[in-house]
Structure 1
């Protein structure tokens, strides 16, 4: 019989006895385990430092990007060149759909001139309607207009004198809104004299806009118009700014708290920015910060001598201030308009503060003490029916990037 081999032990002892390690083996093992246990700690500290440095660089770069209105020009030029050479798809910025439902006689022609230049510079589509006196639309007209706006190649900026349109009501994607308003009395005076005498672009301009106006109406003294309650100078005709933000509801055209509060709500929920004309440079700076892919470099254009020559032609001629008595009557008719104007002014200053814009605020056209005095001393005016606006075919002027 073959003898069973004994299992090798630690030196020929009993096979069940454990092997006794040498002191040198224990020391070597402890060194290895210490090295590997320290390795994750070192790696985690190094990775943590790398992540924090990357985060700092990202935040610093993002801040630099926003404060300078976008990427450096050299990177934009390289991207534009590569896009043309290799037909790369263009990444659309956000937002890529902007609607400027401009309020009449609130600097909108000045802004549109700037937008024509910016559209060429930044390669976005500027679409401008030539309808100037149809702000209220039927339900069918609203749907057609919103669908047509949604079909404009993005990025686009659409402008028209039109009351606020609620796209989501008809399950259409809501664009971003922007707008500018001004002191209500100053806006009314500008519109009153512009309809009669035009601006510096030409003496015949006002005759083209109002060919049916008779001389007794054209040269009607504004004090007589206000104090004798002519329809043009009475409610609801002077209830003008709020409906642009209230919307298409019939009650939006009735001077009162309902239209005022709905207009405020729409501003808070749907408008990226509503500025005031009295602080136009700050408005342009804010638009440059908030929409750099549309307005980057707008202040350089606005302050250039070439633009000043064109911009000066949009000023209304023969404009003068009514008497104190007429102003008292007019202010009382516009009390809701002033409530809304003060709300917009406060919101605009709050937005400037959040962004860190420290420009000095301009004083209002009329002091608060003066307006309070007007309120106390002014009788309630009579209401007049609003003149129906003519129905015109909507024609668009499109500035496409070359």
Structure 2
């Protein structure tokens, strides 16, 4: 067996001079790449690494960094989320995150919008309230443009405007959730009639700004004359007002009839999360708070607060009066489809209330419009000798409704 020394000497003897130079050059390059430091510097680096490890262990065992380090970090500046963790996690949106309130005129919408302005700031959702009040019917091009604009609002959002129902799915756009509030049709008509002429409590002259071209003979036209003498403002199709908001943009939706009525009912069932009635507004707000908590949480508390009522009371119509019983009868017959729809919505609203355990404080007969109760409330206190005559009028007011 050859010894290790003899083996190495024989290998060195066999190596050529050129190969020996290349091997020495490779070793020199490797040694030059290796970092050179003094033993003192190496000891300092090892001590710093040990101190860092011990400090990290101490912080983990004591539940977090000391206050002095946090203050130092704040002084030097916080790094962004992207710097530390990469792209941010997607924002968790409430469901639904797209809501439309296509508010019906003179159905408490200004009160609700005032509430929404407070809620939007409190709950951090985007409230877009359109200033367009006289453009409820749109062309096909206008529908597409509006729906696309609505769809680009950052979510969660609530969009509100006086506009008839828009069918987003018809144009292959995601359909938002709808909400709305309606009221007794005759009460809505009366409120609108006097509001156009005399405004509300926000200012004595605001009605003149709203209807500057209205002449005095029209402004002070007795409502009974308007109804009984069949003025355009008090006859069909002007009285067919609520149903088109739920029927949609189809031209036939503006024609009083069964087709528009049934289509409006179908849309209520399929596209509206809730349609409430103004006569039970507190229950409407309570249901909205339960169904859409991200938008309406605490709405009832705000609504009942004295600070809100200082503003909310200014939206009431002034100089409003009740027509005669004869005029009310004529209106009721002309608004046949409006009342069929109102009764349908009221029944659906009461059904939702029943499902969550809410009871109606004032049960209403489906055959008695609410304006009859208001007629009794607005009747002046009679003198003693006229008491019997007044009771007779009230009986007549209830009897005519049961006639075919």
Which residue pairs with 2:291 in the alignment? Answer: 290
Residues 296 and 372 of structure 1: is their aligned pair in 2 closer, same or farther, counting only changes over 3 Å?
farther
Q: Kindly state the Cα deviation for residue 376 of structure 1 after the two structures are TM-superposed.
A: 3.8
Q: Kindly state the Cα deviation for residue 158 of structure 1 after the two structures are TM-superposed.
A: 0.3
SS at match of 1:317: coil
Q: What per-residue deviation string (whole Å, max 9, x for no partner) do you get for residues 50-92 of structure 1? A: xxxxxxxxxxxxxxxxxxxxxxxxxxxxxxxxxxx96765311
Which residue pairs with 1:41 in the alignment? Answer: none
Instruction: Give the whole-Å Cα distance in 2 for the aligned partners of 1:199 and 1:248.
Output: 30
Q: What per-residue deviation string (whole Å, max 9, x for no partner) do you get for residues 219-244 of structure 1? A: 00000000111000000000000000
Residues 312 and 353 of structure 1: is their aligned pair in 2 closer, same or farther, counting only changes over 3 Å?
same
Q: Kindly state the Cα deviation for residue 285 of structure 1 after the two structures are TM-superposed.
A: 0.0
Contact 1:246–1:259 (Cα < 8 Å) also in 2:
yes
Which residue pairs with 1:145 in the alignment? Answer: 146
Q: What per-residue deviation string (whole Å, max 9, x for no partner) do you get for residues 345-369 of structure 1? A: 0000000111122352464514699
Residues 188 and 375 of structure 1: is their aligned pair in 2 closer, same or farther, counting only changes over 3 Å?
farther
Which residue pairs with 1:346 in the alignment? Answer: 347
Q: Does 1:157 align with 2:162?
A: no
Tell me which moved more, 200-209 or 349-358.
349-358
RMSD: 1.8
Residues 277 and 362 of structure 1: is their aligned pair in 2 closer, same or farther, counting only changes over 3 Å?
farther
Q: Does 1:358 align with 2:385?
A: no
Which residue pairs with 1:125 in the alignment? Answer: 126
Which residue pairs with 2:106 in the alignment? Answer: 105
SS at match of 1:337: helix
Q: Kindly state the Cα deviation for residue 94 of structure 1 after the two structures are TM-superposed.
A: 0.5
SS at match of 1:178: strand
Q: Kindly state the Cα deviation for residue 117 of structure 1 after the two structures are TM-superposed.
A: 0.0
Which residue pairs with 2:53 in the alignment? Answer: none
Instruction: Give the whole-Å Cα distance in 2 for the aligned partners of 1:108 and 1:114.
Output: 10
Q: Kindly state the Cα deviation for residue 373 of structure 1 after the two structures are TM-superposed.
A: 1.8
Which residue pairs with 1:72 in the alignment? Answer: none
Q: What per-residue deviation string (whole Å, max 9, x for no partner) do you get for residues 354-393 of structure 1? A: 112235246451469957724748xxxxxxxxxxxxxxxx
Which blocks of at least 5 consecutive residues in structure 1 are unaligned? Answer: 1-84, 378-402
Q: Does 1:94 align with 2:95?
A: yes
SS at match of 1:300: helix
Q: What per-residue deviation string (whole Å, max 9, x for no partner) do you get for residues 202-232 of structure 1? A: 0111111111111111000000000111000
Instruction: Give the whole-Å Cα distance in 1 for the aligned partners of 2:277 and 2:371.
Output: 14
SS at match of 1:164: coil
> Which of residues 365, 373, 381 is equivalent to 2:400?
373
Structure in which a larger fraction of residues adopt helix: 2
Which blocks of at least 5 consecutive residues in structure 2 are unaligned? Answer: 1-79, 82-87, 374-394
SS at match of 2:276: strand
SS at match of 1:275: strand
Which residue pairs with 2:62 in the alignment? Answer: none
| TM-score, normalised relative to structure 1 | 0.70
Which residue pairs with 2:263 in the alignment? Answer: 262
Contact 2:186–2:371 (Cα < 8 Å) also in 1:
no
Instruction: Give the whole-Å Cα distance in 2 for the aligned partners of 1:375 and 1:103.
Output: 29
Q: How many equivalent pairs are there?
A: 293
